[in-house]
């Protein structure tokens, strides 16, 4: 059964970096916002990069992103997926990234993990923007400590 992406992109007219994941997890779909699973290190990583406290509420997270000129969305707009498993993703319909890139001055794209990177290359590399793979913030990525992850993400987010 195909699932349509239920969360709108976060961006405004000042967003310069577009962060893309693959597709929202079950928990994110339930909470109605990105990286809703407590074990995902996305928000902890961004907080560490910018030396801030971890945003908790949806509004704090949205504000955190926009105040740093970050946009957030996913590569996939609709797909078949089992649970939250990126490996199970099939029948992909990509998001129309022009919704963000056509309405904000995005200068580069940062992909959260290998699956997002591979999907971006398959469906979106025709966008004339530099793009980079960041280490996945998924709890399954045990190879990266939080400090190492923040260091790698920081290189991509702070070097505009």
pTM score, whole prediction: 0.95
Distance of CA 70 to the CA centre of its chain: 10
Q: Using one digit for the tens of pLDDT, what is the confidence trace for 111-130?
A: 999 999 999 999 997 899 99
Nearest to 41 by CA among 160, 135, 159, 156: 135
Using CA atoms, how far residue 39 sits from 50, 100, 121, 131, 138, in Å, is 20, 28, 27, 26, 8
Q: Using one digit for the tens of pLDDT, what is the confidence trace for 75-114?
A: 999 999 988 877 888 999 999 999 999 999 999 999 999 9
Domain that holds residue 15: 2-158
Task: Quote the number of domains for the chain.
Answer: 1
Distance CA 46, CA 12 (A): 18
Distance CA 148, CA 43 (A): 15
CATH number where 61 lies = 3.40.470.10
Cβ neighbours of 59 (radius 10 Å) = 10
């Amino acid at each position: 059964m195909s699932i349509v992406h239920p969360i709108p992109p976060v961006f405004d007219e000042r967003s310069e970096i577009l962060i893309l994941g693959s597709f929202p997890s079950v928990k994110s779909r339930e909470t109605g916002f990105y990286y809703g699973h407590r074990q995902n290190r996305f928000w902890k990583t961004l907080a560490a990069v910018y030396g801030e406290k971890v945003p908790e509420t949806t509004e704090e997270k949205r504000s955190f992103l926009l105040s740093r000129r970050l946009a957030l969305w996913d590569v996939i707009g609709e797909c078949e997926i089992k649970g939250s498993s990126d490996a199970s993703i099939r029948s992909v319909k990509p998001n129309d990234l022009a919704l963000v890139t056509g309405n904000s001055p995005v200068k580069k794209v940062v992909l959260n993990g290998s699956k997002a990177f591979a999907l971006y290359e398959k469906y979106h590399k025709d966008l004339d923007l530099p793009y980079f793979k960041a280490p996945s913030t998924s709890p399954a990525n045990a190879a990266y400590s939080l400090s190492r992850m923040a260091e790698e993400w920081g290189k991509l987010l702070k070097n505009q």
